[in-house]
Amino acid sequence: MIILVPCKHLGAGKSRLSPCLDDEERRRLCGQLLARTLELATSMVGAGRIRVVTADPDAQALAAQRRVSTIADTTGELNSALQRARSQLEQDGFQNGSLMVLPIDLPFATNSSLSEADKQPADIVVAPDEGGTGTNLLLLRSGAWNFPFRFGPNSYARHLSQAQSSGLTLVSLADWRLARDIDSPDQYMAWMRASAPNT
């Protein structure tokens, strides 16, 4: 398995948290989330099978500290950046395995939850967000290697529709650890409460 970790500029991520975090706090949060995601991915597949897709030198440096390679995002658009990254992987000879797209903002994701996704017997595994509209994790088997990325508004329904029209099997994985992200102040505060040490 290869894991792609898309990452915006650390200073530009999580803009919807501006009501509760200032610019520097959001930049620091994104760096922490990227570091945690790389640790999680490394524990699952090893650093050599991870690629961070980013245009941010700070994110590239953070990945390099963990011996993780990067693929430059020259497009500024997630689906195009992932497609370009997949093409690079093909050139590197990785097209015969599985491909997982793992965002950085899944703070409850664990090695167990990722392994559970990997166990699902389908060409494609999708973990929707809590609202059932977004795609929080996407896993493509080798038979679905060229499956079009449909991230963006209503991506969950778009991925399901694309799989159906392509004749590919798909499992929708309902796992709260993968469903909970940090897109709103309420989600951020819920994560902070869950992360607080017991007193």
Considering only CA atoms, which of 115, 2, 133 is closest in space to residue 68? 2
Residue ranges in 46-126 assigned as alpha helix (H): 57-65, 78-91, 111-119
In terms of DSSP bridges, do strands 50-54 and 2-6 run parallel, antiparallel, or are they unpaired? parallel
Q: Write down the pLDDT at residue 199.
A: 41
Rounded distance between C-alpha atoms, residue 77 and residue 75, angstroms: 5
* CA end-to-end span of the chain: 40
Q: Any bridge partners for residue 3, and if so which?
A: 50, 100
Domain boundaries, the chain: 2-195
Q: How many CB atoms lie within 10 A of CB 173?
A: 19
Considering only CA atoms, which of 196, 179, 53 is closest in space to residue 128? 179
CATH superfamily membership of 2-195: Spore Coat Polysaccharide Biosynthesis Protein SpsA; Chain A (3.90.550.10)
pLDDT tens string, the chain, 199 residues long: the values are: 999 999 999 877 666 666 666 678 778 888 999 999 999 999 999 999 999 999 999 999 999 999 999 999 999 899 999 999 999 999 998 878 899 999 999 999 999 999 999 999 999 999 999 999 999 999 999 899 999 999 999 999 999 999 999 999 999 999 999 998 776 667 766 666 776 565 4
Rounded distance between C-alpha atoms, residue 85 and residue 70, angstroms: 9
